[in-house]
Chains A and B, each alone.
Chain A
């Protein structure tokens, strides 16, 4: 009430002043009390309509739209998160499978390498044995041949000596004698 009184006191002298002068345009139009009821009346009407419009129409609809959008965004984010988790799982599985597959193949490679090496070793051994036996056989043959040749050479020498001697001497030496001399 005090405020209203103050406002009235503030405006009153000016209004009285130009009311006395009988001149409407003097002073600020803001201080013309005669226009106050009309301004207040129309302000109440327009602002009430605006308030009703905001209250009943704008705010529920805008609020709903904003809420809907927020829900949609959070749903989409959830979906994206789920898909992301799924993709990560699949990637993990893939990595695991890749790891196990590479391990398996490594094993296979190692095993086949080993088998190959074993086989090679075996073949080598076999061949060596064969070669060794062949060598010893040949050596034995050579030795036998040597012995044989030695005897043949001796016999030939013996015969030759006998023949040469018989040419010059009547008395032919016996084999033992010649052998003695040869030795």
Chain B
């Protein structure tokens, strides 16, 4: 894994500064990571600005695409949370679009995958965890603590169940962030490794090339799927906060 290795699969995750910015001794430089965050933002904006530029009753393709994504997330939120979830729709929708575009832009060769960095996914997961906990206590008061003791459990099992529930609750942000980050990290590393095999094997490289094509299709699926999983789990956690009884 030396830096000078041309097919170092980890090299693609390295963060390099584009513009050096220091603020009060803290390094907040504009990096390639920041650049691709801006790309994800720009891609989302482009989709909706073009899609909404001509509001018509019979939608064209771009409008169809933007409406499909809107309805997809709106239905997900309604199915998981119900009508109380409407207030959180802008956040859930933004979350999905941002992760979706970060994952997809990262699939293009020589790009950077923002969501392959644990700190980014953990920032989202941590924000969701804190927000959900606050929402839970605001909406239910101390009754929110019931989620640690599900109804219908005999009292003598409480010493066993309650710690398990607490641990599982506290591990939610970790599992949420690690799932997304690890999927991106592993997938992109494997893609890079097999791309390296093609170069190394010379004209025999068609075998890993075929495999790479299949793997790329799988990674495309995973990019969409992980954005979906991250979003739907957020909806489920939100539902737990709004309705701790079930």
Given contacts A25-B14, A46-B41, A50-B44, contact A62 B90 (CB under 8 A): no
Segment of B114-122, B207-215, B218-226, B233-241 in the binding face: B114-122
A42 partner, pick from B3, B28, B63, B67, beta carbons under 8 A: B28
What residues on B are CB-neighbors of A171 within 8 Å? Answer: none
B30 touching A40, Cβ below 8 Å: no
Our count of residue pairs bridging A and B at CB distance below 8 angstroms stands at 138
A30 touching B118, Cβ below 8 Å: yes
Interface size for chain A: under 10, 10 to 19, 20 to 34, or 35 or more residues? 35 or more
Asked whether any CB of chain A lies closer than 8 Å to the CB of B98, the reply is yes
The interface on chain B, measured as residues whose beta carbon lies within 8 A of the other chain's beta carbons, has a size of 54
Asked whether any CB of chain A lies closer than 8 Å to the CB of B200, the reply is no
Q: How far in angstroms is the closest Cβ of chain B from A183?
A: 127
CA distance A116 to B232 in the complex (A): 89
Sample 25 A-B pairs with CB under 8 A, ordered by A number: A2-B170, A25-B3, A25-B14, A29-B13, A29-B117, A30-B119, A30-B185, A32-B15, A36-B119, A37-B27, A38-B15, A38-B28, A38-B30, A39-B31, A39-B117, A40-B119, A42-B34, A42-B37, A51-B91, A53-B48, A54-B48, A58-B48, A58-B66, A62-B66, A66-B71
Residues on B lying within 8 angstroms of A by beta carbon are 1-3, 10, 13-15, 21, 23, 26-31, 33-34, 37-38, 40-41, 44-45, 48, 52, 55, 57, 63, 66-67, 70-71, 89-91, 93-94, 97-98, 114, 116-120, 122-123, 126, 129, 170, 173-174, 181, 185
